[in-house]
Amino acid sequence: MQRKLRMGMVGGSRGSFIGNVHRMAAALDGQFELVCGAFSSDPARAIERGAEWFIRRERVYASYAEMFDAERKLEARERMDFVSIVTPNHLHFPIASAAFEAGFHVVCDKPLAHNVKEATALVKQAERRDLLCCVTYNYTGYPMIRQARALARGGKLGKLRKIIVEYAQGWLATRIEAAGQKQALWRTDPSQSGAAGCIGDIGSHAQNLAEYVTGLRITELCADLTTFVHGRKLDDDGNILLRFNEGARGVLLSSQVAVGEENRLALRIYGERGALEWQQQEPNTLVVNWVDQPGQILRTGADHGFAQPAKDATRLPAGHPEGFVEAFANIYREFGLALDARLHGKKKLRGGHDFPTAHDGLRGMKFIEAAVRSAATGRKWISLR
């Protein structure tokens, strides 16, 4: 790269979990510079955050509209290159749309939008404007997930038969939104979160991960969504039977009331000749089983003939644990390579630009809508085609 890529941020004031994650992920490899932000609708909080992150005062904006407007007018050598959107869900669409309109590339937290219609519009808008749109399905950034993908798609496991994917958390086991917990408040509010609660917030990560690793697509599903906590308006738990193309079957489990679970995103894939098991809370281990030899333990950073994308996503020798931020930073890194190529007319680099796009975001919305529709009907299978 010839220079650091300049990043703006919408959202991310104090109390935002994901804003700080994006900031750290962008910082890790030294390839991005956070130059401006519309961190909060509360000016004092916005300024506080700007100071904390050493943003020049004049580039801490009162709103995303003001920011896009002001940045557009800056000279090319100063102007932000792209904006990262880290607000509650319901704001993703208007902000991303305005960013595209103003000619900025976008990194948007998932879900991309509130519904399929909005997501479709964003896909089209980005394409029309020829702008990059990265949707941070961050769990695809783990090195062992990239190795899993190489194994699963490369035929080593044989034809895939069964996929079990689970995302379980316990933090919403009680009604903490009633006590004003900020993260819980918007996630359990349909006007901010969308038609789905748990299945949208984390179930969609599970869907994305399963499809990313296997290359298969969910064709039909049968969902049982539940709201366990009294007074909550959205589902906080869901179990879904899955059918994939090419005859694979599976299950997606998701919960935010699973007491004691922290962030248990787990994936298992069974093929005719081999099988994989991975768990996000110990992300540097990938267990591979074989129909005719002992199980193997693959480890991030080990020199075991890994696929190039797994190597590219690794920063440290084996045994030096790489975590959540590092995986998130891999998404930023791939996006940065693509953006750099775009900005400076380079060719595609080795390993491609492997980051989730608006298409993946749209796919996620389709999954969420199908799950909600399935939960409301007595029909067994709902198509996702």
Q: What's the chain's Rg over C-alpha atoms?
A: 21
Least Å from the CB of residue 13 to a copy of itself: 15
Residues 6+ apart with CB under 8 A from 92: 85, 108, 109, 111, 112, 113, 114
Least Å from the CB of residue 355 to a copy of itself: 19
Number of residues binding to a copy of itself, judged by CB under 8 A: 88
The residue behind tokens 């704001």 is 91
- The residue (of 115 and 181) whose beta carbon lies closer to a copy of itself is 181
253 vs 164: CA distance, rounded Å: 8
Angle between helical axes of 324-344 and 17-28 (0-180°, round to 10): 60
- The residue (of 138 and 208) whose beta carbon lies closer to a copy of itself is 138
Which of 226, 311, 341, 359: binder of a copy of itself (CB under 8 A)?
226
**Residue 316 touching a copy of itself (CB under 8 A):** yes
**Residue 342 touching a copy of itself (CB under 8 A):** no
Please check whether residue 213 is in contact with residue 202, taking contact to mean a CB–CB distance below 8 angstroms. no
Cα 72 off chain centre by: 27
Binding mask 149-168 for a copy of itself (x = CB under 8 A): --------x---xx-x----
Residue 168 parent element (H or E): strand 160-168
- The residue (of 103 and 321) whose beta carbon lies closer to a copy of itself is 321
Please check whether residue 239 is in contact with residue 256, taking contact to mean a CB–CB distance below 8 angstroms. no
**Residue 266 touching a copy of itself (CB under 8 A):** no
CB atoms within 10 A of CB 275: 22
**Residue 141 touching a copy of itself (CB under 8 A):** no
Q: Is 203 helix (H, G, I), strand (E, B) or coil?
A: helix
**Residue 296 touching a copy of itself (CB under 8 A):** yes
Q: Is 155 helix (H, G, I), strand (E, B) or coil?
A: coil
289 vs 274: CA distance, rounded Å: 5
Burial of 133 from C-beta contacts in 10 A (0-12 / 13-18 / 19+): buried
Least Å from the CB of residue 313 to a copy of itself: 13
**Residue 188 touching a copy of itself (CB under 8 A):** no
* Binding region for a copy of itself (CB under 8 A) out of 188-196, 284-292, 339-347, 356-364: 284-292
- The residue (of 25 and 108) whose beta carbon lies closer to a copy of itself is 25
Which of 237, 312, 354, 360: binder of a copy of itself (CB under 8 A)?
237
147 vs 153: CA distance, rounded Å: 10
Least Å from the CB of residue 229 to a copy of itself: 9
330 vs 138: CA distance, rounded Å: 8
Residue 137 parent element (H or E): none
**Residue 302 touching a copy of itself (CB under 8 A):** yes
How many residues in total does the chain contain? 385
Q: What 8-state DSSP symbol labels residue 316?
A: S
**Residue 190 touching a copy of itself (CB under 8 A):** no
- The residue (of 76 and 293) whose beta carbon lies closer to a copy of itself is 293
Site for a copy of itself in 17-76 (CB under 8 A): 17, 20-21, 23-24, 27-30, 34, 53-54
Least Å from the CB of residue 337 to a copy of itself: 14
- The residue (of 327 and 362) whose beta carbon lies closer to a copy of itself is 327
**Residue 244 touching a copy of itself (CB under 8 A):** no
Least Å from the CB of residue 291 to a copy of itself: 5
